[in-house]
A and B are shown apart, each in its own frame.
Chain A
Amino acid sequence: MATLTATIPLAKSKAGQRLRRRFLIGRVLSYAALAIAVLLVLFPIYWMIITSLKLPREIYRVPSLWPKTFTLDNYSKLLSDGQFLIAIRNSLIVSFTVTIISVIISSFAAYSMVRFRYRFRGFVGRLILFAYLTPGSLLFIPLSIIMAQLRLGNSLFGLIMVYLTFSLPLSTWLLQGYFKGVPREVEEQGLIDGLSRIGVLFRIVLPLSAPGIAAVAIFTFTGAWNELLLALVLITSESQRTAPLALNYLITSDVLPWGPLMAGAVISSLPLMILYFVAQRFMVAGLADGSVKG
């Protein structure tokens, strides 16, 4: 494409004009296709937001594409009994704790595997990758039994434990990639300057990998924030529900409260959408490096 653009101003001949016309048609078609794709991407998001701002009348009786009256009724209805706020709080507690634990101990493991050679290194690498790809649809059954035996079922602590099953392999795998980018010479200089090995890790490697660590933290947080299946089998009491669980139980009741449901959807996606928009560059780089679950 770059070469094509460069040749266009020079094109005066008939062949040049033909080339130019083909180029313009290509442009128009590209924009048309992209515009349709963006429209299809945005419509569900639009519908979620707009439904959350509608009165029941405009949702069920006379459905409208653009509401005549905007209302925050759905939000106050959802938040009135305080249960959803507790769920959001639970989600925040679980996601933050999982993120902190896994980023810390995964960076230890990743650093060990990148910088040292030892007998079981290859085995550990394989174990982590297998763990990353071991399906949650298989693990949720034994994990719920084991957590019940440990008397950790129906608790946020238990949920944090089982979320480590997917967050640890993911963050170790990704961090390995980032740590490889830290030049060994910089670490050697640190050792010569009298830093201990743990000092090298904390003062040199981690600060230099800060963008990577930020990306890993966001991916881990997202994974925990979005998880539904393990929460469904582990959590039984209303006070321990996370946000996805709270919304899941909204639709299993007999009346279908689309308005409050979409209000909950907007609230639960807002933090992540903002985070992703702000940190998009990290995210794309991180994704390209490690293939992060979509």
Chain B
Amino acid sequence: MSLAADPSTRPSRRRRLPTGVRAKLFAYALVAPVVLLIIGLVAYPFFFAIYVSFTDQVVGSVGKFIGFANFVYLSKSATFTAAIWNTVIIVLVSDGLKLLIGLGLALLVHQAIPGRGIFRSFLMLPWAMPAFVAFLTWRVLYQPIGGGINLVLTGTGIYPHVVDWLGQRQTAMGSVIAASVWRGFPFWFISILAALQSVPKDLYEAAHIDGANAWKRFWVVTVPGIRQVVIVTTLLSSIWTANGFEHVWLLTAGGPSDATMVFPVLAYFGMQTQRVGEAAAVSVAMLPILAILVIFATSLMMRDED
């Protein structure tokens, strides 16, 4: 309205078009439903989970406050220790591999080669597949009977013996990681590819003219150009992998004998056996590490915004 009165006003960052109380009320009314739902469905449950982790609540009872007893109990539990270690290993190894594979393939597809569009489409496929479908399929692939991996390995003579990939301790973790890399690398691939495409071409040409070889150009131009995206992707992917449930649940359900147990699956088992307080404590115990990752990611993503 003020603009109609003074059309010469240059729109600046500080001056938004509608001013006054009505505009403010309108803005609050628009944002209110999402804010209220998030407070009710995310913020309240979040603090409720922390509260419950300090009680001995079981399903159908209120439970009483027992201090740190759940955490003390967990710290003595071998399964919980295994879950922590396995979660750390899965995050480090599978996200490391996703970074390497995603970056490598993005660099290959980023070249001006014929057919790159087709390669890109194919490489995105695992991401388009629902996670539960992907991990159920891998479960079948790993089977000693009816599984494609054993069939190919014995058929081609690469490895002559049938392996129960998910059923033995030595191979279970590697198998879970391989499946989760298969399903997860396209996210990295697409993010890094988009970042590569946003690096200005003349930077490469300038470096070329300055006599930088391909290796040098990679470190001087490519790496700084994609660093921010790689950092944010690393943080997000680590948070999602650490909290991932499907990949372990559908492949091994944490077995054999806790070899692939991770904390979301352990928390789910706690819920299945109705010990709500303990189950909540499993998740809450992971909170400090996750909080660090989340705060890092949030501040980076907010900085991108401005």
For B301, give its contact among A63, A124, A291 (CB under 8 Å).
A291
Interface of A is mostly: helix
In the complex, are the beta carbons of B151 and A115 less than 8 A apart?
no
Whole-angstrom distance between the Cβ of A130 and the nearest chain B Cβ? 6
Residues of A within 8 A of B41 (CB): 143, 161-162, 164-165, 168
Q: Is A106 interfacial (CB 8 A cutoff)?
A: yes
Interface residues of B, count at CB 8 A = 113
A127 vs B294: C-alpha distance when bound (angstroms): 12
A226 vs B49: C-alpha distance when bound (angstroms): 24
Q: Is A94 interfacial (CB 8 A cutoff)?
A: no
Whole-angstrom distance between the Cβ of A192 and the nearest chain B Cβ? 6
Q: Which of chain A's residues 166-202 have a Cβ closer than 8 Å to chain B?
A: 168-169, 172, 176, 184-185, 187-188, 191-192, 197
Residues of A within 8 A of B121 (CB): 277, 280
A268 vs B259: C-alpha distance when bound (angstroms): 30
> A133-B294, A269-B129, A294-B237 are known contacts. Are A124 and B31 too (CB-CB below 8 A)?
yes
Whole-angstrom distance between the Cβ of A128 and the nearest chain B Cβ? 7
Q: Is A37 interfacial (CB 8 A cutoff)?
A: yes
> A51-B140, A273-B125 are known contacts. Are A142 and B240 too (CB-CB below 8 A)?
no
Q: List 14 A-B contacts (CB under 8 A).
A: A44-B148, A63-B147, A106-B34, A113-B31, A130-B294, A133-B239, A133-B294, A143-B41, A188-B11, A232-B268, A251-B136, A258-B146, A291-B191, A294-B127
- Chain B residues packing against A (C-beta within 8 Å): 1, 3-4, 11, 14, 16-18, 23-24, 26-28, 30-31, 33-35, 37-39, 41-46, 48-49, 52, 101, 104-105, 108-109, 111-113, 119, 121-134, 136-141, 143, 145-148, 151-152, 155, 182-184, 186-188, 190-191, 193-195, 201, 204-205, 208, 232-233, 236-237, 239-240, 242-243, 245-246, 249-250, 263-264, 267-268, 271, 276, 279-280, 283-284, 286-287, 290, 294, 297-298, 301-302, 305
- Across the A-B interface, the 9 shortest Cβ-Cβ residue pairs: A294-B187, A288-B194, A116-B27, A137-B264, A276-B128, A112-B30, A142-B45, A109-B34, A135-B243
- Chain A residues packing against B (C-beta within 8 Å): 1-3, 5, 27, 30-31, 33-34, 37-38, 40-45, 47-48, 51, 59-60, 63, 65, 105-106, 108-109, 111-113, 115-118, 124-131, 133-146, 161-162, 164-165, 168-169, 172, 176, 184-185, 187-188, 191-192, 197, 222, 225-226, 228-229, 232-233, 244, 247-248, 251, 258, 261-262, 265, 268-269, 272-273, 275-277, 280, 284-285, 287-288, 291, 293-294
